Amino acid sequence: MGTIVKQIIMGAFEINGVNLTSQGVWAHPEQQSYRYKDLSYWTDLAQLLEKGFFDFLFLADSYGYPSMNGETPDVAFEQAVEIPKNDPMLLVPALAAATSHLAFAVTTSTTFEAPFANARRFATLDHLTQGRIAWNVVTTSSAVVSDLFGRDGMIPHDERYAIAQEYLDVSYDLFEGGWDDDSVVADKSSRVYADPAKVHKIHHHGRYFRVDGYFNCEPSPQRTPVLFQAGSSASGQRFASQNAELVFLQGKDANTLKAQVANLRSGAVAAGRSSDAIKAIVGLSIVVAETHDEAVAKLDDFLSYVNPDAARIYYSSMTGIDLAKLDPERSFATVTTEGGRTQVERYKENTVREATADFLRNGMREFIMVGTPVEIADQIEALVEETGIDGFNYTPFVSPGSYRDLVELVVPELQRRGLMRTSYPAGTFRERLFGEGAARLPATHPGASHRTALADASA
């Protein structure tokens, strides 16, 4: 191994529901995710993550559930595929109170939430967490969700990103431009709370959104939450290059991942940002045991719970591709899907048969590492060195068991190698990612330009 110069970022990939990515594994004896409705399940988990020096809990979300030709197959309910699930944002305040350092990345959609309400929610969370909040920006593509929200049909892929960009622009207005840094005096002796000259009316009249008025929320530690993104299409990548501060990549092998990381860095530079302005993480699952063979047996045991029908409809729900309807010998590289390019790229050198076999076994997981603590630390170290990836979104097989395994068995080994911290630094989540003093968006981020004085009749 060469010289490792950086500590890795570690996130926990979760959903506020029964199943994560391996459909059927909810029924494994060690799986406790069915307790997702209990606050104590989540507060215990958050404290375990903090014990293991995780950076953040990532809460994936969508209002959608599987639907094939307009029908939801019975197996979706029987195996709890994406349904039931609860709102993930509402976990955060309780978890913030139960922890001191762990950050929280919450997913909301630029297609279905009103920008003003969304901004007020994130500003509130930035206050309540004291700067430990991130926003995973998604652009929803789902006929199911359109029907739940009374919208007419699906929005074309590229237009979704145009909407998302305007949504971010008005969000930057609110987060960055609404209240000057020194607007709040809160001086009881002079009886002045805020300086009216330093609170600015937002005037956004765009193609998709109109917001006229004052932002409800006084300045929070980070203002704009740390921006996460996961889109892998051309327009998704362009959107990420311009806006994202952390991107969740989905490469499945080191070569693909290395190219994605390099692409992300050059995209940031092309957008006028520094090459390290965007952190890159990838999904990671581990199965660890005292011996390699025990670990392999443990993985096989987990995967024996996968329900193939449930896995297939989950895949279809994520990508729009029904694996059962494709010629098994067809090259997967020829399969295209509206917005779902990731899955195709992942299997671009495989046949449909091979891709299906892999997916039914591994779900939507990216890297799966199996072995002893030292073997796993070796693999992590090698992958980081080879690809330049900044960290991982840890995806458990069972919860909290898979977290406990990582925290108790692998984290100490990663700490010995200098790959993980042994204490949390002070400061906001953005400072932990980008260094002391970097609580706010940097000057080269497009959001920073929304800080300049806005046209304001009352100022």
Instruction: State the nearest-atom distance from the C-beta of 215 to a second copy, in Å.
Output: 8
If the CB atoms of residues 118 and 285 are measured against a second copy, the closer one turns out to be: 118
If the CB atoms of residues 119 and 284 are measured against a second copy, the closer one turns out to be: 119
Instruction: State the nearest-atom distance from the C-beta of 312 to a second copy, in Å.
Output: 16
Q: Quick one: how far is CA 387 from the chain centroid?
A: 20
If the CB atoms of residues 195 and 349 are measured against a second copy, the closer one turns out to be: 195
Instruction: State the nearest-atom distance from the C-beta of 340 to a second copy, in Å.
Output: 21
If the CB atoms of residues 173 and 405 are measured against a second copy, the closer one turns out to be: 173
Distance from C-alpha of 350 to C-alpha of 253, rounded to nearest angstrom? 13
Instruction: State the nearest-atom distance from the C-beta of 417 to a second copy, in Å.
Output: 36
Instruction: State the nearest-atom distance from the C-beta of 201 to a second copy, in Å.
Output: 8
DSSP type of residue 124: H
Residue 449 burial (C-beta neighbours within 10 Å; 0-12, 13-18, 19+): middle
Instruction: State the nearest-atom distance from the C-beta of 31 to a second copy, in Å.
Output: 8
Nearest CA-CA partner of 316 in 334, 345, 337: 337
If the CB atoms of residues 26 and 347 are measured against a second copy, the closer one turns out to be: 26
Transcribe 246-260 into DSSP letters: EEEE--SSHHHHHHH
Distance from C-alpha of 6 to C-alpha of 363, rounded to nearest angstrom? 30
Q: Tell me how many helices (H) and strands (E) the chain has.
A: 16, 13
Three-state SS for 399-427 is CCHHHHHHHHHHHHHHHHCCCCCCCCCCC
Angle at 244 between CA 240 and CA 247, to 5 degrees: 80
If the CB atoms of residues 194 and 448 are measured against a second copy, the closer one turns out to be: 194
